[in-house]
Amino acid sequence: AGPASDPASLLARRDAVFADVQEHYFAEPPVMVRGWREHLVDADGRVYLDTLNNVTSIGHAHPRLVEAITRQWSLLNTNSRFHYPAVVEFSERLAALLPEPLDTVFLVNSGSEAVDLALRLGQAWSGRTDVLALQEAYHGWTYLSDAVSTSVADNPAALETRPDWVHTLPAPNALRGRHRGPDAGRYAKEAVAEIDRLAGGGAAPGAFIAETLFGNGGGVALPDGYLEAVYAAVRAHGGIAIADEVQVGYGRLGEWFWGFEQQGVVPDVVTVAKAMGNGHPLGAVITTREIAERYRAGGYFFSSAGGSPVSSVVGLTVLDVIRDEQLQENAHDVGGYLKERLEALGHRHPIIGAVHGWGFYLGPELVRDPATWEPATAETAAVCARLRDLGVIAQPTGDHQNILKIKPPMCFSRESADALVAALDRVLTTGW
């Protein structure tokens, strides 16, 4: 079998014990043994720049988090039916991050669970199971969160195999979709017409779920006014609006803590996970008291580890670090700088058709021809493989797998931004 850290033998053992559906990055993945800030280190001591780990929001192996979690584990860990300060403090801190009337918090362990609960809140609120979701979206793998996941990159049959209570709207992409540039406002009009049509047929959505910036789609912005129009139409028929902030929320966008702020809306339910735990399993649903109470009438909620003392301390410490190290400001400053530099790279390498996103959620989109917008799918995979040779971890995303998802730990430095741009420039100049 070879030594424990030999990449090939470890991969063979992994393949033997994992199901096929459990994928791994890279055909011949390095064996990762530690992380530090926005860096990963493999078993040979090779250091990689990590542009991928948005879950690790405050950076790998953050000493303050290590200390806090170790201390709390040594004192107490139990479930939230017991009474202790950390779960109250953390829930208050979360609620305070959201506008009125979002003041009621459920703590869970993952984004999938948060989305599942959010959809069930919608069912309880409206008394209906019909849900409206966007195409090209990913919301999780539990039964309900998978039902509203429509990305064909994750599941090629996604659109044909949704349950009949899931209705979808086209991804309102103003660059490559049906309505482009100034015509992108038509997406909202068509969405409203579709909601009215569904309602007319007795299938008014009880909930609408969408990311507030197309994270899974590569950081593509929704057209201005899109969520405002869709939220209003859904509410007019008695449904609720769910903002899935699992991927893009929590300060990463720089200018806004939440993606829905960019759209100028206030949702009825917000789902959060990933960044809030820095890799510790932590998720949350924040909603209004009224919605939570209607769920109480027919629903059940208990999570053995959600909101545990350890999870709550992790959540509080991550928020403290984001504040004290000014990581949202760093996402704004370094992310803005990185976006400018990637755009400048696009002037020299026409394969970069656009750079989507804001802050530390950026998506350079690779196209074969900027006129036709033909996706450079194979090229994107090859670019990622070459970047890895140069010590940069990056991966493709989007339904065409032609967008680099640049969503690093929020401590990503200007030097790291320069290193990423230099490596990408080298790959695009020397070929892949």
- Segment interacting with ligand PMP (CB under 6 A) among 13-21, 95-103, 108-116, 298-306: 108-116
Binding mask 114-153 for ligand PMP (x = CB under 6 A): -x----------------------xxx-------------
Query: CA 175, CA 353: separation in Å to the nearest integer?
Result: 10
Q: Of 140 and 409, which CB lies nearer to ligand PMP in the complex structure?
A: 140
From the CB of 245, what's the least distance to ligand PMP, in Å? Answer: 8
Of 51, 247, 308, 380, the one binding ligand PMP (CB under 6 A) is 247
256's tokens: 């806004």
CB distance 253 to 280 below 8 Å: no
Q: Of 118 and 310, which CB lies nearer to ligand PMP in the complex structure?
A: 118
The CA R_g of the chain, rounded to the nearest whole Å, is 22
Q: Which residue's Cβ has the minimum distance to ligand PMP? A: 111
CB distance 289 to 104 below 8 Å: yes
From the CB of 156, what's the least distance to ligand PMP, in Å? Answer: 18
- Show the CA angle centred on residue 343, arms to residues 331 and 181, nearest 5°: 100
* Residues within window 200-219 making contact with ligand PMP, judged by CB under 6 A: 211, 215-216
Report CA-CA distances (Å) from 376 to 48, 210, 350, 390: 25, 26, 11, 21
Query: CA 328, CA 347: separation in Å to the nearest integer?
Result: 28
From the CB of 148, what's the least distance to ligand PMP, in Å? Answer: 10
Task: Say whether residue 112 binds ligand PMP (CB under 6 A).
Answer: yes
Indicate the pairing of strand 240-244 with strand 269-272.
parallel
Q: Of 22 and 430, which CB lies nearer to ligand PMP in the complex structure?
A: 22
Query: CA 84, CA 395: separation in Å to the nearest integer?
Result: 41
Q: Of 93 and 280, which CB lies nearer to ligand PMP in the complex structure?
A: 280
Burial of 155 (0-12, 13-18, 19+ CB in 10 A): middle
* Residues within window 256-315 making contact with ligand PMP, judged by CB under 6 A: 273-274
Alpha-carbon dihedral 291, 296, 301, 302, rounded to 10 degrees: 120
From the CB of 288, what's the least distance to ligand PMP, in Å? Answer: 21
Task: Say whether residue 332 binds ligand PMP (CB under 6 A).
Answer: no
352's tokens: 């970069």
56's tokens: 């690790």
From the CB of 314, what's the least distance to ligand PMP, in Å? Answer: 14
281's tokens: 């399993």
Of 50, 136, 194, 244, the one binding ligand PMP (CB under 6 A) is 244
Q: Of 62 and 139, which CB lies nearer to ligand PMP in the complex structure?
A: 139
Q: Give the residue among 376, 380, 369 at the shortest CA–CA distance from 424.
A: 380
- Segment interacting with ligand PMP (CB under 6 A) among 185-193, 242-250, 317-325, 394-402: 242-250
* Residues within window 66-95 making contact with ligand PMP, judged by CB under 6 A: none
Residues β-bridged to residue 362: 357, 406
Judged by the rule CB under 6 A, the positions of this chain that interact with ligand PMP are 110-112, 115, 138-140, 211, 215-216, 244, 246-247, 273-274
